[in-house]
């Protein structure tokens, strides 16, 4: 029987730097490990996904609780994801999409187009977990033609309906794919 996911987090590493004589902002970077299957522990699991998180005020740089639940759903339903085309909206640290990629889905991970820090972090976590996902800037409401060529079988979104303006944009995008 499948069991719930669990996670552990390494001690945060403070990163500081000097730029043009001024102190760069303090960043707390950590790598959290997420376990699926088996006893979902570091000793007994079928799948491990590592996520690079930065403890700062950017929504897309740390794992939100919804994402842990959605990732577990993907794991539990993995037979439905294997071989499917998946698009994750507002992916942030991308835990659900990475689980989908690990079980054999063709995954496109998206987040705000101008937020290069989040998009670069997504690329880094893909490398860290040895998965080959497409990473795409996709800002809700600013839809370029290429996103309509994706033809997803499943659209994932964890904690993306948190304000009413976003809700309308996300729903209308999902309807366009329908």
Ligand X SMILES: C[S@@+](CC[C@H](N)C(=O)[O-])C[C@H]1O[C@@H](n2cnc3c(N)ncnc32)[C@H](O)[C@@H]1O
- CA 154/CA 101 separation, integer angstroms: 13
- The piece of 2-10, 12-20, 98-106, 111-119 that touches ligand X (CB under 6 A) is 111-119
- CA 115/CA 57 separation, integer angstroms: 13
- Is residue 67 near ligand X by the rule CB under 6 A? yes
Min dist CB 89 to ligand X, Å, is 7
- Is residue 135 near ligand X by the rule CB under 6 A? no
In the shown chain, the binding pattern of residues 144 to 163 toward ligand X, with x for contact by CB under 6 A and - for none, equals --------------xxx-x-
- CA 6/CA 8 separation, integer angstroms: 7
Q: Within a 10 A sphere around the Cβ of 77, how many other Cβ atoms?
A: 14
| Alpha helices, DSSP H, located in the chain | 65-76, 78-81, 95-102, 116-128, 164-177
Min dist CB 106 to ligand X, Å, is 19
- Is residue 140 near ligand X by the rule CB under 6 A? yes
Residues that bind ligand X (CB under 6 A): 59-60, 63-64, 66-67, 90-93, 111-112, 115, 118, 139-140, 158-160, 162, 166
């Amino acid at each position: 029987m499948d069991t719930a996911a669990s996670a552990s987090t390494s001690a945060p590493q403070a990163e500081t730097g000097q730029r043009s004589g001024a102190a760069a902002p303090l960043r707390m970077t950590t790598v959290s490990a997420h376990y699926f299957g088996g006893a979902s522990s570091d000793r007994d699991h079928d799948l491990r996904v590592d996520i690079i998180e930065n403890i700062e005020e950017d929504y897309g740089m740390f794992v939100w609780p919804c994402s842990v639940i959605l990732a577990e759903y993907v794991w539990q339903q993995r037979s439905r994801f294997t071989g499917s085309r998946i698009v994750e909206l507002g992916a942030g640290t991308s835990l659900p999409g990475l689980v989908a990629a690990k079980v054999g889905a063709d995954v496109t991970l998206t987040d705000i187009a101008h937020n290069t820090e989040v998009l670069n972090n997504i690329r880094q976590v893909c490398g860290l977990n040895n998965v080959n996902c497409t990473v795409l800037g996709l800002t809700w409401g600013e839809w370029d033609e290429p996103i309509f060529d994706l033809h997803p079988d499943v659209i994932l979104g964890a904690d993306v309906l948190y304000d009413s303006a976003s809700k309308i944009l996300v729903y209308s995008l999902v309807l366009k794919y329908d």
